[in-house]
């Protein structure tokens, strides 16, 4: 069994989760069984997995495993039929789409928050006392069952969380107490796991126990740590044939100094792994320059499915003419403001040009700044800040676009650029490490411009938008380039890594 390990699948995912999901699907499509393993508690993970095209049996979450709920099917739990409510005693009062309350004699005793993105399904139930303070909360899983119960300290902070199995028994307790005056989780305790209790001081100690238990259940195990937070845990896992670390980003700064998160894999625990897997030869070479004793392999972060490659090419007339896109997190390392500035230059010259951003942000300030710039330039009609899209929604986004820009400080592989090229979109990108030059060839499938040169970027964009013949040539080559990342090719690449 192949195990690809990270923290979670999120509602909004970064490249790490995308590449891990992509690889899991690729292995399973080749009947080489693989599981996407997650550590964090996320009672909506089944939904989040679906959004990255993973089926629930391809994912194994630690909490789910101990709760014995890995194979539970989705059932709907509508609040109007919610068995916890004594409807002859209490009144369920609707307060719009997000929550209802359980009222008694004119007082709200409890609040039922609707499961996100559903109409009227139970998400969680918050119970209040006579001082109207929160006392406890029942958390429901996306699949319709009660997954955990939270209890709060008198000051309102989370005091303990108890995880339940399908019978409602507590199988795992997590408590929050003080360490040096700071409230934090201080204990995880498995209750009656195969007849015994196990107490852990940290979540990662529990995670290691979990991983070792899982490794006992299958043969010929290959384990890959995909998230830097899990490297030191995976380093200790036993019963595996081989053990790897996969990088999904730049491991070092411009001066070659490794980022702190990467030192576990590169230095302190390097001996515990069979090797490091990076998406490009350039990054491999960069690592070997500084750590020449390491076994570094190249494995693509992305594979384009054969099914997708077989699809018809999308012609210009079926796209939104002049649509430039930016895909990825709207955060400092992606430099979306630079892309916006370049667009503003194009916009003056090409009246039909529009610009669409897709990606989540944790940097609200940056997003606000960008919106302000858009407003100052009266470009509200032509610049779109779209919601985060699921994988299937991304298809449409790409198929409507004409050009993609990339202004990141660096790309380990540029998954989104490969995906975009898989949809026939030419690329205009800054010249950065490690992936850009391997992906984009000037005048073939796009243009590489000097890092930071907005004028040059604007010029290339204008050229492409104004010249349909040029666009068609670049688009064809983009489709062609994506074929290098066919699922067939990339699976072989990975299989060879693990077979060595």
Instruction: Please report, as ranges, the residues that interact with another protein according to CB under 8 A.
Output: 83-86, 89, 104, 109-110, 125, 127-131, 133, 135-136, 149, 151, 153-154, 159-160, 168-170, 175, 177-179, 183, 186-187, 189-190, 196-201
Looking at the Cβ atoms of 108 and 239, the one nearer to another protein is: 108
Residue 419: phi and psi, rounded to 5, are -60, -45
Q: What is the nearest approach in angstroms of another protein to the Cβ of residue 138?
A: 8
Q: At a CB cut-off of 8 Å and minimum separation 6, what does 191 contact? A: 169, 170, 171, 172, 173, 197
Looking at the Cβ atoms of 160 and 462, the one nearer to another protein is: 160
Looking at the Cβ atoms of 86 and 469, the one nearer to another protein is: 86
Q: At a CB cut-off of 8 Å and minimum separation 6, what does 122 contact? A: 77, 78, 79, 82, 112, 114, 115, 140, 144
In angstroms, the CA 423 to CA 278 distance is 24
**Cβ–Cβ < 8 Å for 330, 367:** yes
Strands 91-94 and 354-358: unpaired
Q: What is the nearest approach in angstroms of another protein to the Cβ of residue 127?
A: 6
Q: What is the nearest approach in angstroms of another protein to the Cβ of residue 98?
A: 21
Q: What is the nearest approach in angstroms of another protein to the Cβ of residue 81?
A: 13
Q: What is the nearest approach in angstroms of another protein to the Cβ of residue 152?
A: 8
Looking at the Cβ atoms of 117 and 154, the one nearer to another protein is: 154
Looking at the Cβ atoms of 110 and 224, the one nearer to another protein is: 110
| Token pair belonging to 274 | 């069979």
Looking at the Cβ atoms of 176 and 498, the one nearer to another protein is: 176
In angstroms, the CA 190 to CA 479 distance is 51
In angstroms, the CA 435 to CA 415 distance is 9
- Cis check for the bond before 434: say yes or no (omega within 30 of 0): yes
Q: What is the nearest approach in angstroms of another protein to the Cβ of residue 2?
A: 31
Looking at the Cβ atoms of 124 and 274, the one nearer to another protein is: 124
Q: What is the nearest approach in angstroms of another protein to the Cβ of residue 102?
A: 8
**Nearest residue to 493 (alpha-carbon basis) of 294, 280, 252, 336:** 280
């Amino acid at each position: 069994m192949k195990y690809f390990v990270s923290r979670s699948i999120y509602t909004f995912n970064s490249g790490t989760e995308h590449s891990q999901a992509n690889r899991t699907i690729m292995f399973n499509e080749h009947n080489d069984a693989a599981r996407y393993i997650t550590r964090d508690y996320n009672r909506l993970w089944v939904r989040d997995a679906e959004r990255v095209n993973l089926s629930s049996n391809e994912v194994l979450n630690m909490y789910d495993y101990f709760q014995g709920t890995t194979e539970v099917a989705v059932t709907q739990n509508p609040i109007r039929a919610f068995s916890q409510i004594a409807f002859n005693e209490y009144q369920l009062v609707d307060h719009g789409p997000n929550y209802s309350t359980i009222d008694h004699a004119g007082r709200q005793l409890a609040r039922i928050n609707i499961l996100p993105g559903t109409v009227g399904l139970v998400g969680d139930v918050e119970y209040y006392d006579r001082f109207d303070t929160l006392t406890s909360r029942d958390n429901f899983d996306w699949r319709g069952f009660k997954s955990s119960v939270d209890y709060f300290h008198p000051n309102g902070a989370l005091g303990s969380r108890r995880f339940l199995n399908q019978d409602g028994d507590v199988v795992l307790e997590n408590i929050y107490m003080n360490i040096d005056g700071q409230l934090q989780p201080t204990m995880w305790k498995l209750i009656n796991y195969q007849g015994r209790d196990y107490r852990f001081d940290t979540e990662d100690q529990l995670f290691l126990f979990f991983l070792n238990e899982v490794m006992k259940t299958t043969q010929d195990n290959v384990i890959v740590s995909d998230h830097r937070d899990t490297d030191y845990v995976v380093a200790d896992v036993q019963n595996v044939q081989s053990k790897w670390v996969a990088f999904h980003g730049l491991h070092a700064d411009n001066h070659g100094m490794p980022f702190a998160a990467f030192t576990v894999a590169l230095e302190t625990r390097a001996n515990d792994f069979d090797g490091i897997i990076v998406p490009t030869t350039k990054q491999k070479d960069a690592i070997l320059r500084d750590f020449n004793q390491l076994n570094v392999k190249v494995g693509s972060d992305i594979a384009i499915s054969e099914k997708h490659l077989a699809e018809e090419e999308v012609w210009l007339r079926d796209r939104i003419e002049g649509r430039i896109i930016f895909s990825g997190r709207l955060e400092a390392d992606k430099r979306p403001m630079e892309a916006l500035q370049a667009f503003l230059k194009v916009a003056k010259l090409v009246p039909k040009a529009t610009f669409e951003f897709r990606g989540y942000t944790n940097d609200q300030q940056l997003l606000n700044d960008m919106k302000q710039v858009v407003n100052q330039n009266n470009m509200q009609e032509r610049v779109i800040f779209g919601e985060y899209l699921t994988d299937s929604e991304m298809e449409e986004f790409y198929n409507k676009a004409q050009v993609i820009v990339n202004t990141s400080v660096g790309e380990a592989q540029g998954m989104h650029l490969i995906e975009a090229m898989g949809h026939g979109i030419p690329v205009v990108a800054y010249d950065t490490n490690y992936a850009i030059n391997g992906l984009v060839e000037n005048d073939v499938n796009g243009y590489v411009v000097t890092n930071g040169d907005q004028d040059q970027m604007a010029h290339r964009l204008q050229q492409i938008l104004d010249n349909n013949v040029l666009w068609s040539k670049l688009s064809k080559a983009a489709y062609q380039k994506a074929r290098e990342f066919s699922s067939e090719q990339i699976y072989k690449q990975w299989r060879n890594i693990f077979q060595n």
